[in-house]
């Protein structure tokens, strides 16, 4: 079975740039580069990964692309560009010449304007992604889910993927509002969902695998097995455990699924979505 980690990060740690790493995650306040990840992927029988931006600069995008040139394990890059810029089409046209760049992401979860994704300048940027065959990763918090049906319905041929299940309240055991809103998003066939980032939404040092089962059930019932994909969120996940523990949560849960369904979740869906 080919396994692709559809969501991980690299960075050269900078306390200002990475000020989102709080004291409870102090263990990841250091550099993380392909040399750190490659043996971990090999140990866990993961054949490749998608490197996703963590900083909102084009220098970050170029940094990830340079890493992908040197490391075959990086099968694709999700970068950042200013989708609200009047010059966004020039940027997309230039990046379209770089086959490793598969899509873009904006850190919507951190925006004061919670519905930024519905503002005209942002929508203009999203409207151009399909032309250049780019996907879009939706990084939001649970409260922003209500804006997503309006976004994705405007662009029915655009490939979207929800990162980290839209960060439900796993720590507090909250599920009802998120279940309703993620279900409405899943009705749009152009939207996929990454089963990633769960351990850092739970009790960092005392989570149990069964904490995640209700959320996994909701996502699979909503999206089906053809629109979900595995992501580790390494190295962020290291604040709550190790890579093997993270992948084992979903390997255990998916063990009752057919081989074909497991192949879709662990590799084929990411390969198809990102055109790896």
pLDDT of residue 142: 96
Rounded CA separation 213/165 (Å): 13
| 276 residues of the chain, pLDDT tens digit each | 999 999 999 999 999 999 999 999 999 999 999 999 999 999 999 999 999 999 999 999 999 999 999 999 999 999 999 999 999 999 999 999 999 999 999 999 999 999 999 999 999 999 999 999 999 999 999 999 999 999 999 999 999 999 999 999 999 999 999 999 999 999 999 999 999 999 999 999 899 999 999 999 999 999 999 999 999 999 999 999 999 999 999 999 999 999 999 999 999 999 999 999
**C-alpha pair distances (Å), 10 with each of 60, 233, 244, 256:** 10, 10, 18, 33
Per DSSP bridges, beta strands 101-106 and 191-195 are unpaired
116: cis peptide before it, omega within 30°? no
pLDDT of residue 195: 98
pLDDT of residue 194: 98
pLDDT of residue 177: 97
| Element housing 101 (H / E) | strand 101-106
How far, rounded to the nearest angstrom, does the alpha carbon of residue 274 sit from its chain's CA centroid?
Answer: 12
**Domain positions in the chain:** 4-274
Output phi, psi for 195, to 5 deg: -90, 90
pLDDT of residue 123: 98
Q: Residues 6 or more apart from 222 whose CB is under 8 A from it? A: 182, 183, 185, 186, 193
- CATH 3.40.640.10 for domain 4-274, yes or no, is no
């Amino acid at each position: 079975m080919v396994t692709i980690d559809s969501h991980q990060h690299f960075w050269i740690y900078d306390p200002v740039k990475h000020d989102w790493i709080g004291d409870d995650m102090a263990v990841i306040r250091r550099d993380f580069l392909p040399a750190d990840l490659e043996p971990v992927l090999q140990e866990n029988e993961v054949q490749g990964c998608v490197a996703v931006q963590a900083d909102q600069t084009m220098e970050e995008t170029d940094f990830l692309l340079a890493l992908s040139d040197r490391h075959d394990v990086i099968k694709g890059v999700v970068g950042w560009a200013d989708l609200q810029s009047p010059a966004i089409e020039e940027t997309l046209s230039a990046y379209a010449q770089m086959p490793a760049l598969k899509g873009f992401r904006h850190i919507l979860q951190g925006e004061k304007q919670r519905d930024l994704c519905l503002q005209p300048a942002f929508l203009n940027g999203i409207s151009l992604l399909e032309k250049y065959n780019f996907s879009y990763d939706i990084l939001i918090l649970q409260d922003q889910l209500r804006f997503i049906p309006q976004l994705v319905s405007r662009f029915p041929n655009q490939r979207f993927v929800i990162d980290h299940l839209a960060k439900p309240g796993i720590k507090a055991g909250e599920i009802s509002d998120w279940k309703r809103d993620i279900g409405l998003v899943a009705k749009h066939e152009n939207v996929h969902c990454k089963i990633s980032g769960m351990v850092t939404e739970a009790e960092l040092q005392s989570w149990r695998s069964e904490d995640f089962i209700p959320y996994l059930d909701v996502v699979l019932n909503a999206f089906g097995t053809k629109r979900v994909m595995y992501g580790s969120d390494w190295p962020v996940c290291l604040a709550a455990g190790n890579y093997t523990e993270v992948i084992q949560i979903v390997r255990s849960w998916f063990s009752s699924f057919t081989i074909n369904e497991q192949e879709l979740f662990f590799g084929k869906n990411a390969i198809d979505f990102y055109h790896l």
